[in-house]
Amino acid sequence: MSMVSFVAALLRRVAEGMLKFLAWIGEEPIGGYRPEAHYMRGPGPAWRAKHQPPQVASLRSVR
């Protein structure tokens, strides 16, 4: 067997192995997408603290 045919056969086997591996990975996504895990119900406390207008001191006297 010549060196060129040996390298060609080796590359063919590597390519077939890579294709099988990629097909195996693509069969089922890891973890899956769960939309309920990414659902946002509204702004949180950090957003409110950043975007609320500054608190105005009360005009009442504090005892």
pLDDT in tens, 6-63: 999 999 999 999 999 988 887 766 677 777 777 777 888 888 888 888 776 666 766 6
Main-chain dihedrals φ then ψ at residue 35, nearest 5 degrees: -60, -30
Please tell me the predicted confidence (pLDDT) of residue 1: 62
Whole-structure pTM over 0.85, yes or no? no
C-alpha to C-alpha distance for 21 and 24, rounded to whole angstroms: 5
